[in-house]
């Protein structure tokens, strides 16, 4: 699924989000509750947005369901939905920040109680810190490598959170 297609739908809806933030929100909700319905995500995603066409809703639902599938895959296929590597570095970092903001919101929507098992609190604190990344004056191979490292950390952290929270789901709900 192309990032630009999803981003266009989200921006067109005036939801004040990006595709990265929308995907982060879906991922956060699914990490807390794998059985959450795509309709609940759409409701949160489009809460203050203009109505979107049914075919656009279907595209968003496909993103949500593909995210669910990838999170549940034993093949470590899950990845963050971000602009491609050809995008300017500051845009990639901004998208990563937005993804983290969406993820944290999704976790909060799915479980506002915040009684987290295991290392979940520490991982969530790390994700909060990533939302503070600067996008100005970034360039070069060092910053690109740092972005890749943070992205890989997040990818692993999400899968760890999903495992931790699915174990704790019986006590969360």
Q: pLDDT of 68-92, one tens digit each? A: 999 998 888 899 999 998 898 999 9
What CATH number labels 3-172?
1.20.120.740
CB 156 within 8 A of CB 119: no
Phi then psi for residue 154, to 5 deg, are -60, -45
CB 31 within 8 A of CB 164: no
Residue 171 has pLDDT above 50, yes or no: no
pTM over 0.85: yes
Give the per-residue pLDDT at 172.
42
Q: What is the pLDDT of residues 51-63, one digit of tens each?
A: 899 999 999 999 9
Residue 173 has pLDDT above 50, yes or no: no
Q: What is the pLDDT of residues 139-166, one digit of tens each?
A: 888 889 999 999 999 999 999 999 887 7
Closest CA to 95 of 38, 160, 151, 12: 151
* Poorest-pLDDT segment among 37-41, 73-77, 109-113: 109-113
- Domains of the chain: which residue ranges? 3-172
Give the per-residue pLDDT at 27.
96
Give the per-residue pLDDT at 114.
67
| Cα distance between residue 10 and residue 63, in whole Å | 12
- CA torsion, points 60, 97, 70, 2, in degrees to nearest 10? 50
């Amino acid at each position: 699924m192309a990032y630009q297609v999803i981003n266009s739908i989200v921006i067109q809806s005036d939801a004040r989000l990006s595709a990265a933030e929308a995907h982060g929100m879906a991922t956060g909700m699914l990490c807390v509750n794998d059985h959450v319905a795509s309709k609940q995500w759409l409701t949160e995603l489009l809460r203050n947005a203009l109505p979107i066409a049914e075919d656009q809703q279907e595209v968003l639902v496909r993103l949500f369901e593909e995210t669910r599938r990838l999170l549940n895959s034993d093949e470590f296929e899950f990845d963050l939905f971000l602009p491609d590597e050809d995008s300017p570095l500051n845009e990639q970092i901004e998208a990563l920040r937005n993804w983290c903001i969406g993820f944290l919101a999704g976790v909060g929507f799915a479980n506002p109680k915040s009684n987290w098992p295991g290392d979940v609190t520490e991982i969530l604190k790390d994700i909060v810190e990533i939302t503070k990344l600067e996008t100005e004056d970034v360039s070069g191979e060092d910053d690109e490598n740092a972005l890749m490292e943070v992205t890989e950390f997040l990818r692993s952290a999400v899968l760890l959170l999903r495992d931790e929270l699915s174990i704790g789901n019986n006590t969360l709900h």
